[in-house]
Amino acid sequence: MSGFNENVNLSLTKLSTLNLSSLNINNFPQFLVKLPDLMILSLSNNKIQGTIPKWFNDVGNGSLFYLDLSHNLLTSVEYFSMRDIKILDLSFNKLQGHLPIPPWGILFFSVSNNKISGQISSLICNASSLMILNLSHNNLSGPIPQCLMAFPSISNLDLRNNGLTRTIPDNFSKNSALKTLNLNNNKLEGPFPRSLAYCDQLQILDVGENQIEDTFPNWLEGLPELQALVLRDNKLHGTITSSNTKHPFWKLRIFDISSNHFSGSLPAAYIKEFKGMVKVDSVETGSLYMENRNDPLYQYSVKINLKDNARELEKILKAFTILDLSSNKFDGEIPKVIGELYSLKGLNLSHNGITGSIPQSMGNLTNLEWLDLSWNKLVGEIPPTLTNLNFLAILNLSQNQLEGIIPRGKQFDTFLEDSYEGNSKLCGVPLTKSCSKDEGKLPQPSSSMFFDFGWKPVAIGYGCGMIFGIFMGYLIFLIGKPQWLVRTFGGQIKKHKKETRNRVRANRGRTN
């Protein structure tokens, strides 16, 4: 559709809400200036291209507070000057050049998924009433303005997938309303800002895929609403120890600290407190997704390793729980308490130095969909209890020191050889190395003598005696009675018979 018929019925001049989305429109309809009372306008999912025309700023005559131009082909907004707009969505266009500065009274501003470059101007600080700011998926560079962290009203700040540098500003407000902070996939460095501990409403923190160099931020464990903590792929190091918080991270559903340099034992003190990973949410409890009902325009999102593939979750299921400690330097054994995280969907402990055996308690994780324990130093048998994991779609136990028969049944019948490769002592289906049902068990003895001495010495003696007997019989058959045998045993037998006859005769003489 090239446009609208400009002979629009002027009886619609009192119209306050107009939805023209997904109509294949390729330019701005000029009749919009004839709607002075228009408050809500959506032109999303069309093919409008080029620059916003100057006349468009007069639409609504100052009453327009909601404007959605997302999912079009716009390249510039240099003429945009609607000062009273409160909600402006320019996401998913082809905007280039510097970041447009939002009006000072705006509440929601999104230019995500464009081609905007350059630094974030400090002029954005004039929009101090901002509640949601989404600048993600652009080509922004340079530092993050400190004012963005100090905004008392901002609840969702999304700057992921840019090229931002330097450190994260350390001036979060003590009265911060921040609920989501997403800085994933930038070039941020330095330590964590300690003032993040003031953000007691924070629910989502994603600073993955940066160059942050610090120890584990255990001072975040007291944040009462934190549900997703993603620190993956940074330069974090040291052991993970809990502070004196009574119930640390008790609402956490996603804990991803993979691809760092953490060492020491697995954080069992935290794992046993992950109450958010224990309860299995019911579909009947409301929305399936983690959401902020006060900010319905913004979807919570994090970037994680989902079934061995890095993916951005634009919507986070309430029942979606992940524990990823992979690609670090952890050692020691897997804590048995991990089997109490009943709602876990994904567990990844791969590429560490973990020792000991796989806990039987992991068979309690009946909601688990993928399990990766590869590239460790695990020993012992694969617990048969793992066959209880009816939803398990991906299993990787490769490159360990496991042994014995691979359990069969249910989901285990679907896993291929690559799930077990690198464990030379494993046998059974699906490996080419077969093993008997009783392999590794000793034969049962048939008498008490066998029980006392063991079956191996008896078997050796029996075999040697049998061989000796066969040899002697064969020798006699060939050469007749050997002289040494006659001398050794034959002479003694004759002597014994002669002595016996003499004793008999002597007894008869005494009797007569």
Residue 429 lies in a domain: no
Cβ-based neighbour number of residue 426 at 10 Å: 22
Residue 331 lies in a domain: no
In this prediction the pTM is 0.80
Digitized pLDDT (tens) for each residue of the chain, 512 residues in all: 445 555 555 556 678 999 999 999 999 999 999 898 999 999 999 999 999 988 998 898 889 999 999 999 999 987 778 878 999 999 999 999 999 989 889 999 999 999 999 999 999 989 989 999 999 999 999 999 999 998 889 999 999 999 999 999 999 988 899 999 999 999 999 999 999 999 999 999 999 999 999 999 999 999 999 999 999 999 999 999 988 788 899 999 999 999 999 999 999 999 999 999 997 654 434 444 445 444 556 667 676 676 666 666 555 545 679 999 999 999 999 999 999 999 999 999 999 999 999 999 999 999 999 999 999 999 999 999 999 999 999 999 999 999 999 999 999 999 999 999 999 999 999 999 888 754 433 334 433 333 344 444 444 454 545 544 444 444 444 444 444 434 443 444 444 445 545 554 554 454 44
Angle (nearest 5°) at CA 484 between 479 and 486: 85
The parent domain of residue 489 ranges over: 481-512
**Adjacent-strand bridge partners of 141:** 119, 163
Residue 500 lies in a domain: yes
Rounded CA separation 371/383 (Å): 14
Q: How many residues does the chain have?
A: 512
DSSP per residue, 119-179: E--GGGGG-TT-SEEE--SSEEEEPPPTHHHH-SS--EEE--SSEE-SPPP----TT----
DSSP per residue, 434-462: ---TTTTPPPPPSSHHHHHH-HHHHHHHH
Residue 258 lies in a domain: no
Rounded CA separation 427/424 (Å): 8
Task: Identify the CA nearest to 223 among candidates 252, 244, 266.
Answer: 252
Residue 372 lies in a domain: no
Residue 508 lies in a domain: yes
Residue 499 lies in a domain: yes
Residue 501 lies in a domain: yes
Tally of domains within the chain:
2
